[in-house]
Structure 1
């Protein structure tokens, strides 16, 4: 049952022919022009930087593990070693060396740049060991600025990505079987995606204009304008001489006004009847602070981070409201993390399993720990869990408690176990 309809023009098309299909009317927001705009937004605006950190840091901070349910231990351990993540239900074993190894945290940080640009593209690079098994050598990031085009099939699937050639060389074509493409909110054949900052772009532009007006207002009116009033002209029947004298006084007064400065040795000498004063603005200056605060609120609202604006000057709502708003925000973070994990499962983990063991071999899944759902661990919580037998006091738990509260390591004699030491301590106390 082949497809009858299509998501892209029949045949193989490039992104240049799909611009009209995306519906983006703003030239600044059309790819690749949008890359420069989003770079400027995240580097120049503190509020934009803040909301991006609020979105990405919790996802980077949460624990990522492999769920090997239904998979052979050999396969799960191979993937865990390659990616540098732990296995669910097993203690994490850190690699002996990190130099030259694949870094999952750095890969994840670059993958989350899809939220800034709408897409983040990686090329798979493998190495083969002595036993013939393929390992992830690196997932090489291909910066959005280097992407020249997307080749898209009739059904909307990605065929290849082209990179700009360097030093006059032709474009580099990377086929889809070597790619890992993270695309934020992709619709149909739109492999450029939609940036998380797209909805905040208008607020960013308006805020930038108001900030410039505010700076000009302070510059022009902050210190006042020096004004020199000339003395009255001497009595004379010669009108031309009187005009000439006034012109000379006006020119001298202008020079004095331009050179007026404050300082220990600053001063001015004026003829009798002349005057020098600094004139400020009469009336009320326009209040630009409220407009800037409003634009900041809208930028945060674009990513459901409204709680970032609570507690500021003239802010509406209480700190108790942050719990309600924060729940929507953490739900959105969990959704983003699950989407990232889904792409890694399909185009990294399953590709490694296919290369080494074939397409019929079950593949483990990457699982991010839920964000915002962990309870605070206190001594009272541990005591209650131990009393209800939900926890068993063993060596790993003791080591965890001592490490969490900064307690010294238990001192044991050579060959002595923790249980034996406890028994001797209890006998000595008796």
Structure 2
């Protein structure tokens, strides 16, 4: 029996099959149509948008750094400068050295788009090396709605992506563009197969979003039909058709207002009838589907409505959510270290030899505001020793006046002492 086509010594394959049972079976959620669907969810649904913000903001807000990790100091400094990140031990990144280069804090929100669409691709752009070693110049987003095709190798590895043909605002035509894997930085969220499409954070919420959208329309119809009651007119006589017709016109044109009113014949009646009996309200079902959308991302905090409950349960749920955010940030750091930092080092030094610097970050949710009382306790216990930088930061944070120069303070003190001696010469 002949061997199957082998790649790099592998006999098996990982490329997804057309009729795979683990592939998406909803036509609206199959790439590339899925991009339009998830964009619509993120754009139009308040709860879906809240879920996305709840997941992405803590990751964006945490402090990211470069750890030398035993790499050559010049190489570590190059990575820190080209990504505009501080090295461990630095106060902040050097903004001057990053002019015209990449900023990690600008790249990160685009990378987190993988949560919405399942994937996020970037083209790595380097300098031409004419004035020294090649340096990273740009991480250009290749937006999800521009991607026509994702090519996957037999072994499941990414080969390339193809962007759609397009025209600019002047009508100039640009043909399809194929970007090979060596030019790409690819983030994929929770892949179920090796298609490199990934799984959207909003995928489990799709069913609830559809149902909630229908229920919102139903609720609007219920309020429109029954919210203000129905005007009814009862004529004084069954045989006076003119009065009946006049009453019909009256109830059809009845509106609220400062001068609104009606005049009817004796024996007739005009009333506004409310709903008799109890109608089923869609509101409870809408709230349920909202809660399920939040639960799909472990964002149980979005479901709290001040109705009380177990504090310990809420703490456990929040801890689980923080672990989820930590895992997302670690996934981004792992991908960037393997496919970006190592590539940057190879372009800079001409060889792909470690150890390599690492992109690291503080634990998600660990950045908290330090109160004056807590700071005083840290100083009192010897954990922190006050210095010039700390004093300046405290004065800035609490809107205190800046510290006066020593020479100016001494001159004022000597002046006050001289004035006192003139006032009290015998003292």
- The TM-score normalised by the length of structure 1 is 0.84
The residue that corresponds to 1:137 in the other structure is: 137
Counterpart-to-counterpart distance in 2, 1:67 and 1:204? 42
Counterpart-to-counterpart distance in 2, 1:81 and 1:98? 6
- Secondary structure, counterpart of 1:86 in structure 2: coil
The residue that corresponds to 1:13 in the other structure is: none
- Secondary structure, counterpart of 1:338 in structure 2: helix
- Secondary structure, counterpart of 1:138 in structure 2: strand
The residue that corresponds to 1:409 in the other structure is: 402
- Asked if residue 354 in structure 1 is aligned to residue 354 in structure 2, the reply is no
Counterpart-to-counterpart distance in 2, 1:254 and 1:385? 80
The residue that corresponds to 2:296 in the other structure is: 302
Deviation at 1:190, TM superposition (A): 2.2
Deviation at 1:49, TM superposition (A): 1.2
Counterpart-to-counterpart distance in 1, 2:381 and 2:342? 41
Between Structure 1 and Structure 2, how many residues are aligned?
399
- Unpaired segments ≥5 residues, structure 2: 1-7, 168-172, 415-427
Report if the CA contact (8 A) 1:229-1:274 is conserved.
yes
The residue that corresponds to 1:366 in the other structure is: 359
- Unpaired segments ≥5 residues, structure 1: 10-16, 235-244, 425-430
- Secondary structure, counterpart of 2:116 in structure 1: helix
1:352-384 Cα offsets, whole Å, 9 max, x none, are 111111111432000011013456634454444
Moved more, 251-260 or 139-148: 251-260
The residue that corresponds to 1:391 in the other structure is: 384
The residue that corresponds to 1:237 in the other structure is: none
Report if the CA contact (8 A) 1:311-1:319 is conserved.
no
The residue that corresponds to 1:165 in the other structure is: 165
Report if the CA contact (8 A) 2:81-2:98 is conserved.
no
Deviation at 1:80, TM superposition (A): 0.9
Moved more, 112-121 or 316-325: 316-325
The residue that corresponds to 1:14 in the other structure is: none
1:192-227 Cα offsets, whole Å, 9 max, x none, are 100011111111112222222221111111111122
The residue that corresponds to 2:271 in the other structure is: 277
Counterpart-to-counterpart distance in 2, 1:85 and 1:325? 32
1:154-208 Cα offsets, whole Å, 9 max, x none, are 1111000001101464321111111111110123412110001111111111222
Counterpart-to-counterpart distance in 2, 1:100 and 1:141? 16
Counterpart-to-counterpart distance in 2, 1:195 and 1:257? 52
1:113-164 Cα offsets, whole Å, 9 max, x none, are 1000101111111224654222222111111111100000011110000011
1:280-319 Cα offsets, whole Å, 9 max, x none, are 110122133322222222111111111222234xx46245
Counterpart-to-counterpart distance in 1, 2:397 and 2:130? 42
- Asked if residue 340 in structure 1 is aligned to residue 340 in structure 2, the reply is no
Moved more, 263-272 or 288-297: 263-272
Report if the CA contact (8 A) 1:63-1:369 is conserved.
yes
The residue that corresponds to 1:238 in the other structure is: none
Q: For 1:3, which of 10, 22, 39 is the aligned residue? A: 10
- Asked if residue 323 in structure 1 is aligned to residue 331 in structure 2, the reply is no
Deviation at 1:343, TM superposition (A): 1.2
Deviation at 1:43, TM superposition (A): 1.8
Counterpart-to-counterpart distance in 2, 1:386 and 1:336? 35
RMSD: 2.8
Deviation at 1:393, TM superposition (A): 3.0
Report if the CA contact (8 A) 1:230-1:253 is conserved.
yes
Report if the CA contact (8 A) 1:68-1:365 is conserved.
yes
Counterpart-to-counterpart distance in 2, 1:252 and 1:19? 68
- Secondary structure, counterpart of 1:90 in structure 2: coil
Counterpart-to-counterpart distance in 2, 1:376 and 1:23? 45
Return closer, same or farther for 1:154/1:130 CA change in 2, 3 Å cut-off. Answer: closer
The residue that corresponds to 2:417 in the other structure is: none
1:310-364 Cα offsets, whole Å, 9 max, x none, are 234xx46245543221111111111100101111112221111111111114320
Q: For 1:192, which of 184, 192, 197 is the aligned residue? A: 197
Report if the CA contact (8 A) 1:310-1:319 is conserved.
no
Moved more, 389-398 or 56-65: 389-398
1:38-90 Cα offsets, whole Å, 9 max, x none, are 12212222211111111100000000000002111111111111111100122
Deviation at 1:21, TM superposition (A): 5.6
The residue that corresponds to 2:146 in the other structure is: 146
Report if the CA contact (8 A) 1:59-1:371 is conserved.
yes
- Asked if residue 262 in structure 1 is aligned to residue 256 in structure 2, the reply is yes
Report if the CA contact (8 A) 2:150-2:195 is conserved.
no
